Structures are given as C-alpha cells and as structure tokens.
Amino acid sequence: MRYVGQRILFSILSLCVLLFITFLLSHVVSGDPAIVAAGPNAGADKIAAVRQEMGLDRPLLVQFWIYCSNILHGDLGTSWFTRQPIASDIIRELPPSLELVFVAMVINLAVSLPLGLLTARYAGTTFDDVVRLVVMAGAGLPIFWLAIILQQVVAGQWRLLPTAGRLGFENRDFTGATGFTLLDSLMQGRFDVFADALAHLVLPAFALTLLFTAVGVRITRTAMMGEFRKDYVVLARAKGASEGRIMVRHVFANGATPALTVFGMQFGWMLGATVLVEEIFGRPGIGRYAVKAVTQSDIHAVVAVVFVVGLVFLISNLVVDIALFLLTPRKHAGA
Amino acid sequence: MRSRARFIPVLVAALSGVSSLAIAAPTGTLVIAENETPENLDPANATNSTVDELLLGAYDALVQFPAGETAVSPRLAKSWTISEDGLTYTFTLRDDVVFHDGSKLTAADVKFTLDRLKAAKANVLNDIGPLSGAEVVDDHTVKLTLSKPFGPFLSALSRIYVVNKALVEPHMAEDNARQWLAVNEAGSGPYVIASYNPTEAVSLKAFDKYWGGWDGNHVAEVVFRYITEPSTQLSLLKSGEVQIAPDITVEDKLALMKEPGYVVDVGQAATPLYFDFNTASKGPTGNPKFREMLAKTFDRQLHLDQVLMGLGTLPDGPLPTSWPGHESGTELAFDLAGAKKMVDDNGWAGTTLTVRYLPAIQEEKSAVEQLQSNLAEIGITLNAEGMTWPAQAATVQKVDTTADINMIYSFPPFPDPHAILNASFNSALTGSNGGYNWAQYSNKEVDALLNEAASSADPAKRAELYKKAQVLIGKDFAVITVSYPGSVVAVSDKVEGYKYNAAHHQTFNIMDIGLK
C-alpha cells in the first residue's frame, strides 16, 4: 500500500507543477484578455474597469494563489465568455470527448495487442515485415489529414458512414443523464440511437487512434519478443503446450507490463489530441472548447482544460500502475 | 436495416412529410453551418456576430435594418419623435407584442433592458454613445434621453434586444443576470431557442404567437451546426444535411457557382480591411512623406482578382462607395515606380519595417505577402509578425509597442459612416485609448468634423462633414484600404429569401427564408 500512496502523492505534485506552468504560460502569451472581453470600440476607461473586474490588475502570483485556493474548493472559476462556471462547461464537454477516446482506445487495444503478439512470434517473417511497413506508414500520417481523407472518401464518396456530428438529424434532440451518448442510449433502451452514435464515432475514433495504434503494435511486439526467448517458453514447448496457449497464457501475461504502461499514457495523449478530430468531424467536446478558450484568451478556461486533461492523464497512468502492481506485486517489492 | 437508413440524409424526407393543409404555417427545417461557436446568448454581447445571429431570431429591437436596406425601419416601435435639441427620443410601442412566455411586452421591459445593459457594462453599449436614461411614459410609450445629441442613435438601437423584465429581474442580484441570460432566452422574436449546445448545435423553433405573423414561406425550425472545417461544410452541403454553408473555401465557392443545385450569393459587405500606419511613431511611419510613399505600394486590383477571386468590391477610400457621405479619390493609387522614386530621392532604401497581422486569416496573410514583395522591390524590408487577436490588440495599447504597420478589419455594427470613420480615425479611440484606431491617428480637425457629424441629426449635413473628414484623412496617409471582401455564402437552391444584411454582418435573415 505504501507504493500506491507514493504514486498518488507523486501524481498530485505533478498536477501542481502542471497548473503553475499553464497559468504562467497563458498569462504570458495571451496578450490582454480584457481588450477582448470589453468588446469592440470599448475605450480605455471601460477596458480598465473590465481588467479590474477580471482580477487581471493584480500581481501574477496573487492571481495564481487565488486561483489555486479556488480549485481546492472545487471552483474552477467562471468563464469570461460563456459566463458559466467553468466546471459545468467542462462537465458538458468532457463526456463526448471521453467517449471518442474510449472507442479509439478499444480499437487501439483490439489491433495492437494481437498484432504485437503475432509479429513477435513470427518475427523476421514476411508477415512481420508487411505489418511493420503498414505500421510505419500509419505512424507517419498526420491525424488531421487522415481525418479529412477518411471523411471525404468513406463518408463523402462511399456514403458508408456519417460525415459529421455526434448523432444523426432525426436524433438531434436526444439527451441523457450522463452525457455519454452510447451509455445514455443503452440506459434508455434506445438501440437505434446507440447504433447512430456508434456510426458517428467510427471514423473519428479510427482517425484518432491510427497513430497511437502504430506505436502500440511496435511496443507490444518489443515487449513480447523478450519473453519468447525465455527459458519457460522453451520448457512449455517441450512439455507439448499448444502455441496458442503459450502465446496467451505465458508470453502475453508476462510481457504485457511495459505495453500496458504505454497504453495508460496513450489514453491521456489521445484526450489532448481530440481537438484535431473534433474540429474536422464537427463534434462537440473538450478540444473545441479549448480552442475557443485559447483564441479568446479565456485564461481560467484554458488552465482548467489543461488541468482536467492532466488529471485524466494522471488517473489513467495511476490506474495502470496500480493494476500492474496488484497483478505482479513482486516487481515493485523494492520500491 | 433501420440503422442503415439513418445514414442517408433525412432532410428531404423531413421536408416532404409536412402537410400542405396549414395556411401560413412555417414548415421544414433549415440547417446553417457556422464555423465559429457562440460565446453565449446574452444580448449584452450582440456585438459578436455568432451571438447576434441567434439573437436576431429570438429577440426584437425597437428598430431594425431589414436585409439589403441602409435605413432603419420600425420594429417594436411603431413610430418615434425626436425633440428639437436631439436629446429626447420618444417611442410609441406596438401593443400586440408578446414574449415567448405569453406575457405582454411593455415600455417597462424596454427601460429594464437599457438599465440592465448599463449595470452590466454591456459591450453592445460601446456603440450607442451618450445614452443617459430611459423613462416609462405609459405602457406603450418610452422616452430615451441623451446627454448630448448623437446622429446614429436610432441605427445603434437596432442591436439593443429587448428582454422580458419579469423573467430576467429575479436573476439580477448576483451578476446582472449575466450567467442566466448566457444560456436562457427571454425574447419576443419570431423564433424560440429550443436547445443550446454551443460546441455542437443551436436549434430555434418558430414561435406561433409571433406578432409579425407567419404569412408567406418560412421555416419551422432553424438549426445552426458548428462546423469549423471548410471541407466538412462542403460535404454536408453536398449531402443535403445543411442548406447554407458560408465558410467553404473560395475555390469551392467558385466551383459551386457552375454546379446546378447551388446558389453562391455575393453580398456587398461593408467590412474594410486596412493597413494602419503607426502615425504617432518616432520611426519612419511618423513621417507623412514616408507614409505617402507607402500609400502607393499596394495593388488593390491585384488583391481583388487574385486573393478574393473577384468576390468583393474595389475600395475607393475608407468608406464603402455606396454609403452616404462617401468621398471619392482620397487615397493614392498603386504606383510602385512613384514610390521607388520617393525612396531614391530621400535615401530610404535599406529601411526595415514591421507589420503585425492575423495569420489565421488567409486574406491578411496574402495581403502582407504582396506588400512584402512590393516593398522589397523598392529596397524596403518588411518583417511580418503573425499574432492572435488578443496579442495584437495588446501591442497597440502603447505607441512604443505599436508596429509600423498593423492589419485590421473594421466591422461596423450598423451601416453609418460614423461606425467606420469614428472608430478608425477619431483620436479618442486610438489603440492607446483602447480603441480600433490602430494608426494612432490624431488630427484635431478630423476629430472636430467627426464629432460634429456624430452630434447632428441632419443626414445631408452629416454627409458633407464625413466627406471633408475623408479628404483630410487621405492627405495624412493614415491607412491603405486594402479591400471590401464580399460576404460569399453558398446556398442550396432549395432555399429562397436569403439576403446579405450589411447591418448584421455574418448573420442570416432567417425570418425571411423559406424552403422550396
């Protein structure tokens, strides 16, 4: 349990550093938010009044101190542009993005793990070479470019999947308790809405995941390669265990640790990358919210988004770390 | 198979399914693609077009600019009188207007609206001049008073949307109802905001008790879908999922002009793009002679042909040529040889200048590139610094940090010379005073002309004053007017009644639109 405690403490510290850097950076690069907030033709007096109202006339460290103490009370501040508590804005925007990342992650794992395992088993064969070639090509494709191509071809020309949005036109008024459309539709027994939401998720999730999957396949392969050379595999083969059993029960179970650590991090990275996909597929989400906040110098909203994405990143890492610790406690005994 | 059918655009089915029995009932759904998401729904922010385009449907103002017109006409106000001294405006309101909750709109709502905007330091009041107060005379008469005469007062009132006092007042205590009105609506307009998901879509549904009635062809629902990517907007237009796509690329718009099924509307927008020279600079642009040379170095015709692909109007000075008060020939024509001669005569070769602009806007980027290459030809180096809007706006707050040249559009909130000339050239609104006069231009004579024109209610006299001001501004070489880009919008040919409205740039006249 000491290990878990250490991990949590370390995560909280990382988050504080992240907060401070983001806060500092957004103040330095964002010009004068008061000018934007005061609107066109405002005049110096009004801008000064708005600046004061926004608290921007105070020293930076004081602003940061106030901000941190608010966060400790669960208050992420009020957006100067949406005029809503930023926490409630994020609660609205996060589910569609998380849903996209979940689906992307499912595709990622479903492709990376088997392909990684198989290429490790058949390393050096033509199969391995072909997969490596495809994976390298995939890793080189920029997400936004892939997204546009998929949209233009699969949705635009072939009409197999929807072009944009979260739901089809006839379901545009669908709402649910959690904001996760897949979950809400199942809870309400609306399987038609579920299918619709899933169809709208396929292309964006695929575009989002390809780059990560390429990395995933390579990482899994490397991790598994080492296992195949170990004595226990030779022993298992000698005992006459089937090749499938060796791969799944022995190699995979033992070699998955480093790969899973990477997948844990990928979850957070994906959330940060959703913006590229959301803009192209016209989906709501935290990425689009962040872009709007950045262009308007809505500092508190920007910092809050970074905070939340960082939080998700840390949590997903923590979950993986703890899961691995519980699965293979020996490896961490010295920590 | 049910799920398969969902992938096929359903709009056609939705439209044809509506019965033709109802007389003068709005029918069908109009979907408009919009690349920028709205910040909120508060009428205090009606200065912002992404907010204004939603409020135009949900609210009414005392007066209005119908699409295509440059004069105000009645809306909530049936008629009005202006006192001799120009300080008191008395409006007689319609008595048949109801808010979306069914309650009657009265003079008390108008007074409350203005009082609230003042208390909330609303952005929309930046343009309304010296308004001092509102007074309820009786249920249908309201008196607005000014501290000094303001010629464009009626025009400016076209963006003051009247809110339902009974609904808003309970939310005033904390923040002047800012938070509440940001996501709730309290209007009397033709459409009710049915759902508001600002990063996804906003839906407006026809209000059956609208005082204007529903004679003619109107739509029952208007959906704004927030689609940033131009290629996505095009795909959705082609698949029939949206009927109006304003933000597709110029190339695609030109291609659609030749394609059956689409109409590409080119609205005569009044949003000039300027190169503002830092006239207060201690550097080279502080010298009027040097600015005279610079004023000859930009080819507006080339920009219109190559960058705007002909979709715009050739500028002739800082005001749109069709506006009252426009004066012709106040800016120098493109003459690079003449500029070169001035550079040689004065030994200016080797000078280095800086221009700041928004690289996210293709038109600004292309204009900067042209200026860079022209100046290079005559021995002047132009450094281009791309910025974001808030960062660029911050640099002009001091003369010392203002670049030699800044690019800026003027977005007049109403079609009146005041809205462009005063904001861009009055010394009270220089960048260092928090305004959009980024040339830091200060000429007492020009100030006097602009102020006199602003305080007059006589259109002929005002036009004369603005003409004189333009001549003086031209002689000081404060800016190059780069272009009047057209407002180019791709529309499905199933849509009828769309018309560009210069008084509400980048919005849509949804009330006039019907589907064929």
- The tokens describing A72, both together, are 């400790």
pLDDT at residue B86 greater than cutoff 60? yes
The pLDDT tens digits for B237-263 are: 999 999 999 999 999 999 999 999 999
pTM, rounded to two decimals: 0.90
**Nearest CB partner across the interface for B390, out of A35, A40, A93:** A35
- Among B7, B198, B203, the residue with its CB nearest the CB of A161 is B7
Interchain contact, B201 vs A33, CB within 8 Å? no
Residue B17: pLDDT band with limits 50, 70, 90: very low
Q: Under a CB-based contact definition with an 8 Å cutoff, are residues B363 and B273 in contact? A: yes
The DSSP code sequence of A193-250 is HHHHHHHHHHHHHHHHHHHHHHHHHHHHHHHHHHHHTSHHHHHHHHTT--HHHIIIII
Whether chain B has a CB inside 8 Å of the CB on A153: the answer is no
Q: Which of B239, B341, B410, B11 has the alpha carbon at shortest distance from A41?
A: B410
Domains assigned to chain A: 1-73 (no CATH), 88-327 (1.10.3720.10)
Contact check, Cβ <8 Å, B433/A43: yes
Give the DSSP H or E segment for B381.
Answer: strand B381-386
Domains annotated for chain B, with CATH where assigned, are 27-261+493-515 (3.40.190.10), 273-486 (3.10.105.10)
Question: pLDDT class for B23, splitting at 50, 70, 90?
Answer: low
For chain B, the distance separating the N- and C-terminal CA atoms, rounded to the nearest angstrom, is: 30
Chain B contact probe: residue of A79, A163, A167, A174 with most B CBs at under 10 A: A163
Confidence of residue B77 (pLDDT cuts 50, 70, 90): very high
Reading phi first (left if > 0) and then psi (alpha if -120 to 50, else beta), residue B470 is in alpha
Provide the greatest CA pair distance for chain B. 79
Contact B503, B239 (CB under 8 A): no
| A188/B366 Cα distance (integer angstroms) | 52
Question: What pLDDT is stored for residue A249 in this prediction?
Answer: 76
- Tokens 């083969």 found at: A237
Give the gap in angstroms from C-alpha A145 to the nearest C-alpha of chain B.
12
- Grade residue B279 by pLDDT with cuts at 50, 70 and 90: very high
> Which pLDDT value is given to residue B335?
97
pLDDT at residue number A330:
59
Give the C-alpha separation, B142 to B123, whole Å.
Answer: 23
Least confident stretch, A200-204, A222-226, B91-95: A222-226
Closest A-chain CA to B121 = A46
Contacts of B83 (CB under 8 A, 6+ apart): B89, B90
pLDDT at B8: 38
Give the span between the Cα atoms of A288 and A278, in whole angstroms. 7
**Is residue B226 within a helix (H) or strand (E), and if so which, with residue range?**
strand B221-226
Of B3, B199, B388, the CB nearest to A31: B388
| Amino acid identity, position A224 | M
- In chain A, pLDDT over 70 holds for what percent of residues? 97
Cβ–Cβ < 8 Å for A240, A74: no
Are A32 and B429 a contacting pair at CB < 8 A?
A: no
Predicted pLDDT of residue A142: 87
* Residue B44 exposure: Cα atoms within 13 Å on the Cβ side: 30
Q: The sheet that has B381-386: what strands, in order across it?
A: B312-313, B479-485, B273-277, B405-409, B352-357, B381-386
A128 burial (CB, 10 Å; 0-12 / 13-18 / 19+) is: middle
Contact map slice: A 52-111 vs B, CB within 8 A:
53, 78, 81-84, 92-93
Chain A residues 187-206 with CB within 8 Å of chain B: 192, 195-196, 199
| pLDDT value of position A141 | 86
Mean of the pLDDT values across residues A298-320? 88
CA–CA distance, B102 with A333 (Å, rounded to integer):
71
Tokens standing for A28? Answer: 């330095």
Query: What pLDDT, on a 0 to 100 scale, did the predictor assign at position A283?
Result: 94
**N-to-C CA span, chain A:** 11
**In angstroms, rounded to a whole number, what is the distance separating the alpha carbons of residues A293 and A104?**
25
Chain mean position to CA B239: 30
- Chain A residues 259-318 with CB within 8 Å of chain B: 279-285, 288-289, 292, 295-297
State the number of CA atoms in the 13 A half-sphere of A117 facing the CB: 19
CA-to-CA dists, residue A193 to A167, A197, A199, A206, B3, angstroms: 8, 6, 10, 20, 9
- pLDDT at residue A245, as a whole number: 80
Strands B141-146, B88-93: pairing is: antiparallel
Q: What is the ipTM of this complex?
A: 0.88
Q: Which of A253-267, B159-173, B191-205, B417-431 has the lowest mean pLDDT?
A: A253-267
Computed over every residue of chain A, the mean pLDDT equals 87
Residues in a beta bridge with A146: none
Contact, B406 vs B386, CB < 8 A? no
Return the SS3 of B263: strand
Q: Residue B6: is its pLDDT beyond 50?
A: no
Residues B437-445 have a mean pLDDT of 97
Specify the pLDDT at position B144.
Answer: 97
Residues of B in contact with A171 (CB under 8 A): 6
pLDDT higher at B121 or B60: B60
User: Per this entry, what is the length of chain A?
Assistant: 335
Q: What is the pLDDT of residues B45-58, one digit of tens each?
A: 999 999 999 999 99
Does the beta-carbon distance from B390 to A32 stay under 8 Å?
A: yes
Determine, for residues B231 and A29 on separate chains, whether the beta-carbon distance falls below 8 Å.
no
pLDDT value for A180: 95
Query: Is residue A286 within 8 Å of residue A311, measured between CB atoms?
Result: no
What angle do the packed helices A299-327 and A2-29 form, to 10 degrees? 160
Tens digits of per-residue pLDDT, A241-271?
887 888 777 788 777 788 888 998 899 899 9
B489, containing H or E segment: strand B487-492
pLDDT score at A331: 54
Read off φ and ψ for residue B414, nearest 5 degrees: -155, 155
Phi first, then psi, for residue B339 (nearest 5°) are -65, -40
- What count of CB pairs under 8 Å joins A to B? 183
Q: Are B207 and B190 in contact (CB under 8 A)?
A: yes
Paired with B29 in beta bridges are B221
pLDDT at A217: 92
Q: Which residues pair with B193 in a beta bridge?
A: B204
Please compute the mean of the pLDDT values over residues B214-239 and round it to a whole number. Answer: 95
Quote the tokens at residue A186. Answer: 């199942």
pLDDT tens per residue, range A47-95: 888 888 888 888 888 888 888 888 888 888 889 889 999 999 999 999 9
How far is it, in rounded angstroms, from Cα A11 to Cα A16?
A: 9
A window 108-137, beta carbon within 8 A of B? none
Tokens of A282: 């016209």
Q: What sign does the CA torsion over B60, B61, B63, B67 have?
A: negative
DSSP state of B98: B
Residue A37 has a pLDDT of 84
In this structure, are residues B100 and B187 in contact, taking their beta carbons and an 8 Å threshold? yes
Contacts of A133 (CB under 8 A, 6+ apart): none
Q: Which pLDDT belongs to residue B396? A: 93
Q: What is the pLDDT of residues B321-377, one digit of tens each?
A: 989 899 999 999 999 999 999 999 999 999 999 999 999 899 999 999 999 999 999
pLDDT value, residue A329: 60
The reported pLDDT for the residue numbered A30 is: 66
pLDDT band at B1 (very low <50, low <70, confident <90, very high): very low
Give residue for tokens 């990342």. Answer: A101
B352-357 and B381-386: which strand pairing?
parallel
| Confidence at A9, pLDDT banded by 50, 70, 90 | confident
User: For position A55, what pLDDT does the model report?
Assistant: 84
What's the rounded Cα separation, in Å, for the pair B25 and B21? Answer: 9
Which one, of A122, A126, A127, lies nearest residue A225 by Cα? A122
Sheet holding B29-34, edge to edge: B191-197, B201-206, B221-226, B29-34, B244-245, B487-492, B262-267
Cβ(B97)–Cβ(B105) under 8 Å?
yes
Cβ contacts of A279 on chain B, cutoff 8 Å? 228-229
User: What is the pLDDT at residue B128?
Assistant: 86
Q: Which of residues 247 through 266 in chain A touch B, CB cutoff 8 A? A: none
CA A155 to each of CA A40, A163, A166, A204, B100: distance values in angstroms, whole numbers, following the listed order: 41, 5, 14, 11, 40
Burial class (CB in 10 A: 0-12, 13-18, 19+), B290: buried
Pick among B2, B3, B8, B181 to test the A interface (most A CBs inside 10 A) = B3
